[in-house]
């Protein structure tokens, strides 16, 4: 088995078990444990418990790897592989009972720096729908037995574009300006509420594109690999790699049209 395939096996098993744990906790009631960058940016007790579960499972399977998680931060490893983890992506949906949240686990080669890493494997699991999206570098992107492919031929009506607005109020004005620029090339716009599922939706051709300012590495590490392995393009602030500034994902035909609209306001 190749290294990416081996890492993917681990990511899918742990994502499934972690998602089931989060789902069980959801039925017992949601406890908001803290807020982060803004009052709306919440952490639930389940976020912390699920991340601790994932971290312990990864340490057991691959003790020499690094770890970079949304809730518990980064720890360097010695193997050259780092796991980038969002235990519950779409925490606000989780808290409100909207069935669009996911566990996102990626294995990347290099340090936990989106500017330099290469993602080798990624799993995004929505335990409410039971959908587990997975990809390994060179091995394609998959949902069950179905190989995923980004949409082609967006056509005259424009693309169905997913986006997000983040929690930092200072970014909301520029985000709305960007949205106004994108609308003329959009058939319509969706705000799903979980970046990993936005990216999985691009990979599956359920939306034609996704972009967002200010996502964090754990939001997009696994999803970006899904899109690339489904034949799409993922970039950052126009011309750059996906990073904290911006993530743009779409099929090759629509990507350039979208990037051009996002160019002026980075
Ligand atoms: C958030 C979600 C949301 C996106 C935010 C992310 P979290 O992740 O992915 O859709 O708009 O930028 O922070 O906080 O729920 O893990």
Verify whether ligand 1 is closer than 6 Å to residue 87 (CB atom).
no
Comparing 57-61, 109-113, 187-191, 255-259, which segment has the lowest mean pLDDT? 109-113
Q: Is the pLDDT at 234 greater than 90, yes or no?
A: yes
Comparing 19-28, 110-119, 174-183, 244-253, which segment has the lowest mean pLDDT? 110-119
Concatenating the DSSP letter of every residue in 70-123 gives: TTTEEE--SSSEEEEEEEEESHHHHHHT-S--EEEEEEEESSS-TTT-EEEEEE
Chain centroid to CA 186: 22
Residue the block writes with tokens 């799409």 = 232
pLDDT tens digits for range 3-39: 999 999 999 999 999 999 999 999 988 788 888 778 8
The CA 127 to ligand 1 mean position distance, Å, reads: 17
**Residue of 34, 89, 94, 214 to test ligand 1 pocket, by largest number of atoms within 8 Å of CB:** 89
Atom of ligand 1 nearest to the CA of 36: 14
Q: What pLDDT is attached to residue 239?
A: 64
Q: Is the pLDDT at 244 greater than 80, yes or no?
A: no
The CA 93 to ligand 1 mean position distance, Å, reads: 10
Contact predicate 47/31, CB 8 Å: no
Atom of ligand 1 nearest to the CA of 91: 15
| Lookup: tokens for 94 | 């989780």
As a residue count, the chain comes to 266
Q: What pLDDT is attached to residue 40?
A: 81
Cα within 13 Å of Cα(111), Cβ side: 6
Q: Is the pLDDT at 71 greater than 90, yes or no?
A: no
Q: Is the pLDDT at 133 greater than 90, yes or no?
A: yes
Q: Which residue did the predictor score with more confidence, 210 or 111?
A: 210
Verify whether ligand 1 is closer than 6 Å to residue 166 (CB atom).
yes
| Lookup: tokens for 47 | 């976020």
Residues contacting 211, CB < 8 A, separation 6+: 161, 163, 178, 182, 246, 247, 248, 249, 258, 262
* Distance of alpha carbon 222 from alpha carbon 245, whole angstroms: 17
Atom of ligand 1 nearest to the CA of 216: 13
Reduced to 3 states, what is the DSSP secondary structure of residue 29? coil
pLDDT tens digits for range 83-112: 999 999 999 999 999 999 999 999 999 766
**Residue of 195, 198, 202, 214 to test ligand 1 pocket, by largest number of atoms within 8 Å of CB:** 195
Q: Is the pLDDT at 199 greater than 50, yes or no?
A: yes
């Amino acid at each position: 088995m190749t290294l990416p395939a081996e890492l993917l096996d681990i990511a899918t098993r742990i994502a499934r078990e972690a998602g089931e744990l989060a789902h069980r906790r959801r039925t017992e009631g949601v406890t908001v444990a803290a807020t982060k960058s803004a009052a709306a940016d919440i952490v639930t007790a389940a976020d912390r418990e699920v991340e601790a579960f994932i971290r312990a499972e990864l340490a057991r399977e691959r003790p020499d790897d690094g770890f970079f998680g949304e809730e518990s931060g980064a720890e360097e490893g010695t193997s050259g592989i780092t796991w980038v983890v969002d235990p519950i992506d779409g925490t606000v949906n989780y808290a409100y009972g909207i069935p669009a949240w996911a566990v996102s686990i990626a294995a990347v080669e290099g340090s936990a720096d989106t500017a330099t890493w290469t993602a080798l494997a990624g799993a995004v699991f929505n335990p409410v729908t039971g959908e587990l999206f997975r990809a390994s570098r060179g091995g394609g992107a998959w949902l069950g037995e179905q190989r995923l492919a980004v949409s082609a031929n967006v056509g005259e009506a424009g693309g169905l574009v997913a986006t997000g607005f983040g929690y930092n109020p200072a970014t909301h004005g520029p985000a709305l300006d960007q949205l106004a620029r994108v609308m003329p090339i959009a058939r319509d716009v969706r705000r799903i509420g979980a970046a990993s599922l936005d990216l999985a939706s691009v990979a599956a051709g359920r939306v034609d594109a996704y972009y967002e300012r200010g996502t964090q590495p754990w939001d997009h590490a696994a999803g970006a690999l899904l899109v690339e392995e489904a034949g799409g393009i993922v970039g950052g602030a126009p011309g750059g790699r996906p990073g904290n500034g911006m993530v743009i994902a779409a099929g090759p035909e629509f990507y350039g049209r979208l990037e051009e609209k996002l160019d002026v306001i980075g």
